[in-house]
Amino acid sequence: MSSEHDEVDSSTRYDTIVQGILAGVEYAIILSLLLIAATVLVRTIYDFFRQWGGFPQTVVAAIDGVLVVIILLDIAHTVLAHLRSSKFPIRPFLAIGVLAGVRDILSASARLTFGSSTQGSDFSHTVISLALGVGVVVMLSVALVLLRESTRPA
């Protein structure tokens, strides 16, 4: 009887250790994402004011940088929410995907609008990227609507 009790105690102890390690890794991921987001934001602001002469391209690059920061913060927030509730929240990841798709759309649109060298295969790749971005945003938006409708009380 004593050996069964010892096995349960050691199993519980190992589970606690593994959960602690996993939580430590997840917090390290959150801190890394926050550090990267802060670095991208500072660099985006610095580049925006340093390259003032190429204003249209600088604005597009600044918007792109800010959207990357928003995506990183959303991922960090979602990982933190997972830590707090021990559930996998799907809705925030769909929203992050929509943001990433919008970022790609804006980036491709900017290349088409401001890119004087966008010709031939470069133009085709940009149009394909734009179409894929739109498709991703539409599909993820549909998924968000379906998820909301499926969780509504009848």
pLDDT at 11: 78
What is the model's pLDDT at position 85? 79
Q: Could you list the residue range(s) of the whole structural domain that residue 112 is in?
A: 2-151
pLDDT value of position 9:
75
pLDDT band at 69 (very low <50, low <70, confident <90, very high): very high
Average pLDDT estimate for 77-88: 79
| pLDDT attached to residue 8 | 64
Q: Which two tokens stand for residue 75?
A: 């991922």
pTM passes above 0.85? no
Q: Mean pLDDT score of the chain, rounded to an integer? A: 84
| Contact predicate 149/135, CB 8 Å | no
Q: Give the separation between CA 83 and CA 128, rounded to whole angstroms.
A: 38
φ and ψ of 29, to 5 deg: -65, -45
Split into its structural domains, the chain has a count of 1
Report whether pLDDT(2) > 60.
no
Residue 80 scores a pLDDT above 90: no
In angstroms, the Cα distances linking 51 to 43, 54, 127 are: 12, 6, 27
Q: What is the pLDDT of residue 30?
A: 92
Name the band, by pLDDT with cuts 50, 70 and 90, for residue 46.
very high
User: Bigger pLDDT: 96 or 117?
Assistant: 96
